[in-house]
Structure formats: C-alpha cells, structure tokens
C-alpha cells in the first residue's frame, strides 16, 4: 500500500502545480480582449452562461477522472500472486439506463437557459439607435443614418442604451467581435445581420475581426468608444460639420493638393466648400472617409499607432508603404516623398 500513498502524493503535487500555474496566468494577463470582464448586459449574460456550463462540465470531468483514478489505483495488476481472475461481467441494464438518463437531465438543465438567452439576445429593439457597419478588407466602416456621416475603425456609442448594428460586408465574410460588449456576428456580403450593442460603462474597448478574411485578417481590428449621451451628441455634431480647406501656402495645403490629386480616388471627404467635397458614391473605390480622420485614435484597421508609437511615426510608416504594414492592402505604395508625407500628415492633422 506504500506505493498507493506514494502515488496519491504525486497526484496531489501535480494538481497543486497546475493550479499555481493557472493562478499566475490570471495575474499575468491584462486581457484588453478578455471575455471575462463584460461591460454590458449582453456580454454579462454570455459570461454567466459560460461559467454555468463551465462549472457543470468541470464537475462532470472531475467525477469521470475520480472514477478513472480509483479504477487505476485499485484494479491495476501489480503482479501480486494472490489476485484472482476478474469476474466476466457483460453489462448491466440498470447502469445503462442510469448513465443515459443522468446526462440527459444535466443537458436539459443546460438547455433551458441556453434557449431563452438565444431568443433574448438576437435581433434589436425597434427604437434602438441604428449604426450601419460595413466590413472591408481589412477595416470596419460605420455609418450613422440618423446623423448622416461615415467614420471608420472607431465605433462611438452612447452608454446605457441599446445601439443596433446593422451589418453587411462589401467583399468577403468578416466577423465583428468586441468581447466586452457582445459576442460575435458575421458580416455577410449581400445580407444584413443584426447585433444588439449595449454598454453600461464608459471607456474604450478593443475588438477584432474574428472570421478569416484573407491576407490581413490578423490586422483587422476595431475600437469602441463608449461615452455619455451628452458627449456622444457633441461628438456626432462635430462629425457632421465638414472639415476646413487649409489656408493656401501652408504645408497643410500642399497635403490637401496631394489629397485632391491622388487620395481622392479612394477616400471620400466633406469640405466646407461643397464643390470640393466628394462622397463615397463618387469615389471609384471605397477607402475610409477621411473627413474627421484626426478625431480617430487609431487608423489602418485600428492597428496603428502601435503600442507607444506616436501618431506621426505611425502615419509616416503607413504612408511610406501601406502593403508592408498591411499585407494585401488595397492602398498601394504611392511612392510618396518624405516632404509629401509630411504635407499629408499636416493636412490630416487638421481634420479634427
């Protein structure tokens, strides 16, 4: 029986080790994409469901493993002389019924909250504010029908009220995911899918395109700014006004010229002089609307600026060679000179 105790000790050691490891992990990970820190009722509902099923599954697993461990410790053949041949049991109808019914019951218990949550959490309330989300390779576009402007990469929404995302894609499948606010939903070309967004805490939340959508799927991220209703209205108002054409002769104006000759092919922009404005429809190919570019914390699919990088450096890198930063990028390398880049940065810097 010494061997038996020995084995127990070893097993215990393993378990402790595993748990400490897991513990470290919990501390170590800051988790800006974690699903365990919900910031809204929907995400919280999902979180609760997960832990419910997680603990049930864990219980089942532990029971099975205990059974297995017992069997291995007790019935293992250690070459003892005295052990006799085992009874040749062929089965037991009662047991069969038992381990058919019990799992069935457990599953039924899981099924009830599952189904109710499915129906509660799909679709939107009709009076919810609509935001039209369009997926592109590799960035998200947001259109605010009630206010009539477009923005990109950063989704801005008011706190404590439901916002209904009406989503579609312009090219391939994408999958819009902001773990803190709700689960995922595909963006399907030619179809509309709905996602009910609601946050009960202001702040900035990270998101990511979760469906494989080609070369730069890994670089298709999203950011959500949740703010008070008042701040949101202010922001929306600011977004509605067209941006100023910089004064002649300034560096910014050179940048404006470059925009008009080159960038305009893909990037729409609304100016205070209407005749200059071009809208998405008029642009040959649809890149992000740059009207209020400077008001967005991140750009290029919400991947830039990286870490502590300054916005300038990030823009420099990007404008110098987009496909290098983002493989397959539909924005080509325009072979811009250093001062052309500076001019553009100056111009874009002014688009508050």
Pick the binder of another protein from 17, 23, 148, 327 (CB under 8 A): 327
Tell me which residue of 147, 238, 164, 159 sits closest to 205, measured CA to CA: 159
What spatial distance separates the first Cα and last Cα of the chain, rounded to whole Å? 77
Site membership for ligand CUA, residue 150 (CB under 6 A) = no
180 Cβ contact partners less than 8 Å away, ≥ 6 residues apart: 34, 37, 38, 39, 40, 43, 199, 205, 206, 224
Please state, in angstroms and rounded to a whole number, the distance separating the CA atoms of residues 20 and 26.
10
Is residue 193 a contact residue for another protein (CB under 8 A)? yes
Per rule CB under 8 A, is residue 192 in the interface with another protein? yes
Exposure b/e, 294-315, CB count within 10 A at least 16 = b? eebebbbbbbbbeeeeebeebb
Q: Judged by CB, which is closer to ligand HEA: 98, or 107?
A: 107
The 101-120 site mask, x for binding ligand HEA (CB under 6 A), equals --x--xx-------------
| Nearby residues of 198 by Cβ (< 8 Å), 6 or more positions away | 40, 41, 42, 160, 161, 162, 163, 181, 182
Binding mask 92-121 for another protein (x = CB under 8 A): x--xx--xx--xx--x--xx--xx-xxx-x
> For residues 126-145, which are near ligand CUA according to CB under 6 A?
135, 138
Q: Binding marks (x or -) toward ligand HEA, 186..205, rule CB under 6 A?
A: --------------------
- Name every residue whose Cβ is closer than 8 Å to that of residue 217 and which is 6 or more positions away in sequence: 138, 209, 211
Binds another protein (CB under 8 A): choice among 72, 234, 238, 297: 72
- The whole-angstrom separation of Cα 153 and Cα 142 is 8
Q: What are phi and psi of 18, to 5 degrees?
A: -55, -50
Q: How far is the CB of 134 from ligand CUA (least distance, A)?
A: 11
Pick from 7, 35, 44, 271 the residue near another protein by CB under 8 A.
35
| Residue 119, contacted partner among ligand CUA, another protein, ligand HEA, none, CB below 5-8 A by kind | another protein
Residue 211 lies near ligand CUA (rule: CB under 6 A): yes
* Interface of this chain with another protein, residues 286 to 315, rule: CB under 8 A: 286, 303, 306-307
Closest CA to 150 of 286, 304, 331: 286
The nearest distance, CB 287 to ligand HEA, in angstroms, is: 28
Among 13, 24, 29, 64, interactor with ligand HEA by CB under 6 A: 64
Point out which span in 43-51, 212-220, 313-321, 324-332 binds ligand CUA (CB under 6 A).
212-220
CA distances for 349 relative to 77, 273, 295, angstroms: 77, 19, 9
Determine if 203 is a binding residue for another protein (CB under 8 A): no
Neighbours of 7 (CB within 10 A): 14
Copy the structure tokens of residue 116: 């109710």
Q: Site residues (CB under 6 A) for ligand CUA?
A: 135, 138, 174, 209, 211-213, 217, 220
């Amino acid at each position: 029986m010494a061997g038996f105790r020995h084995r127990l000790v070893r097993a215990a050691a393993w378990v402790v080790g595993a748990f400490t490891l897991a513990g470290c992990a919990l501390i170590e990970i800051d988790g800006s994409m974690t699903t365990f820190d919900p910031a809204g009722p929907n995400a919280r509902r999902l979180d609760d469901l997960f832990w419910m099923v997680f603990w049930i599954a864990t219980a089942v697993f532990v029971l099975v493993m205990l059974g297995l461990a017992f069997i291995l410790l007790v019935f293992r053949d250690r070459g003892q002389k005295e052990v006799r041949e085992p009874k040749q049991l062929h089965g037991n109808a009662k047991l069969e019924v038992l381990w058919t019914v019990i799992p069935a019951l457990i599953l039924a218990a899981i099924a009830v909250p599952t189904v109710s949550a499915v129906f509660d959490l799909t679709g939107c309330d009709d009076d919810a504010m609509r935001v039209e989300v369009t997926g592109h390779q590799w960035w998200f576009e947001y259109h605010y029908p009630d206010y009539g402007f477009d923005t990109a990469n950063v989704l801005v929404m008011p706190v404590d009220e439901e916002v209904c995302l009406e989503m579609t894609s312009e090219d391939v499948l994408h999958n819009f995911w902001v773990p803190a606010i709700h689960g995922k939903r595909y963006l399907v070309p030619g179809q509309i899918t709905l996602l009910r967004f609601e946050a009960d805490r202001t702040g900035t939340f990270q998101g990511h395109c979760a469906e494989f959508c080609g070369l730069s799927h890994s670089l298709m991220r999203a950011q959500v700014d949740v703010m008070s209703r008042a701040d949101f209205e202010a922001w929306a108002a600011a977004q509605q006004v067209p941006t100023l054409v910089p004064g002649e002769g300034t560096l910014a104006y050179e940048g404006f010229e470059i925009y008009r000759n080159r960038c305009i092919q893909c990037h729409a922009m609304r100016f205070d002089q209407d005749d200059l404005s071009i809208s998405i429809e008029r642009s040959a190919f649809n890149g992000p609307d740059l009207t209020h570019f400077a008001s967005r914390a991140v750009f290029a699919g919400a991947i830039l600026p990286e870490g502590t990088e300054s916005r300038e450096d990030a823009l420099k890198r990007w404008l110098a060679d987009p496909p290098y930063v983002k493989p397959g990028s539909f924005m080509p390398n325009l072979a811009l000179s250093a001062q052309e880049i500076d001019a553009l940065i100056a111009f874009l810097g002014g688009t508050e």
